[in-house]
Structure 1
Amino acid sequence: MRWADDGFRYGLITRALHWLMAGLLAWQFTGMAVKLIVGRAPITAFWVGTHKDIGLLLLALLLIRAVWGLANLKLRPPHQPGFWGRAALVGHLTLYGLMLVVPSLALLRQIGSGR
């Protein structure tokens, strides 16, 4: 397998960034679910204590992934034609938008609160 995308498959770097970000997003959502279900507990304090650092890491990885994706834009496998291909494209763009907007708003909120 190649490091970069080749038009037929995603390369190792694209796959590594994808799965690393997927795992970190799962960590974030699971931590907040534990907080809502369990309430205040030592496990909740640990999980929520990592939330900001993981969020910053996700934002940095998103920027790296965006630069990598743009650099490999012509080499990326195309979406399938038709409805499902367009749905996949819209879904991905929505997720990328949310992954940019949510941590950016959290940073602005924290900066505005004086912390």
Structure 2
Amino acid sequence: MDQLGWRVRLPGLPGRGFGKEPAGERLGTCALEEASLVLVPAVAVDRSRTRIGHGAGYYDRALRTLPEGARIVAVINPDELLAKDSLPCEGHDVPIPTVLTADGLVSLVTSTSA
């Protein structure tokens, strides 16, 4: 199965839209092996730390290459943070410890909300 390739985002250049390849230096599929923080897109995340995206598991496979101690933060709208066990969790899913919304940063590890 294919893996995501990564590029350097060039300052001042807008994104080219969902599904379109950005401009910038190609870093290859192993770039996350050196990352300390990854902001990952999501359609929704539940308080069980399950993230749902646009399918195919590409981000989950990429996140498994992160070094120990790297931080994963899913970026969602406030209403996309769902109650515990709202989303199906599959064996390949990488647990999301933190989400960032317009309301702020939420730790799903220390949060006691349902």
Q: TM-score interval w.r.t. the shorter chain?
A: under 0.3
More helix by share: 1
Larger radius of gyration: 1
Higher relative contact order (CA 8 A, sep 6+): 1
**What TM-score do you get using the length of structure 2 for normalisation?**
0.24
**What TM-score do you get using the length of structure 1 for normalisation?**
0.24
